[in-house]
Amino acid sequence: MASRNSDWRADLQRCASARPLLKEQALWAIAVYRFGRSVDAMPDGLAKRLKTKAYWLAFRFVETLLSTSLPKEARIGPGLKIWHFGGIFIHPEVAIGSNCTLRQGVTIGNRTEGGAVPVIEDDVEFGAYAQVLGGIRLGKGCKIGAMSVVLQDVPPGATAVGVPARVIDMVKPQGEFVASVAIQTASAR
């Protein structure tokens, strides 16, 4: 339970405003997600059953009101930031690392029903309406451009854009810049 509280504190720290729950509605979705995770960690019993019902009511309310779906089954690290909420859908089996940033319209899920889902490492930033689909991995610190459709792995520190997405530049972990590296896609062959 303590780590869940620290995850929530990390989420709040990424907000620059006082009273963020009144000013950043996207935090409502994150708060409901964190609440759902804490309920799942509770021992079985009446309190857990009641809180589970409260979670589902809050989840559906926030999902409908904000058009943002962060199901409690997903694994999302601390420090999640959502800019410009709305149209955000995360598959329940997705894993998202720490300090990631989502923008409106982002979808992270499978390509086919029952198919594999993405793994997102720490510090990944998603542009508006980015779609990340299938059993792929987005490396630490990569950036996904607005309206990109990512269907293959993106290396750490890379920036990927386009439909289908391709890497347009990379920054090595030491900060050394490497330009114009392209990911081969099945459709480009």
Confidence (pLDDT) at 183: 37
Per-domain residue ranges for the chain? Answer: 2-181
Confidence (pLDDT) at 188: 40
The structure tokens 């979705």 sit at: 29
pTM metric for this prediction: 0.82
Q: How far apart are CA 142 and CA 126, in angstroms?
A: 9
Distances (CA, A) of 71 to 29, 65, 68: 9, 15, 10
Question: Cβ(114)–Cβ(139) under 8 Å?
Answer: no
CATH 2.160.10.10: does it fit domain 2-181? yes
Confidence (pLDDT) at 23: 66
Mean pLDDT by 10 residues, the chain (189 residues): 70 72 79 94 96 96 93 95 91 96 96 95 96 96 96 95 89 52 38
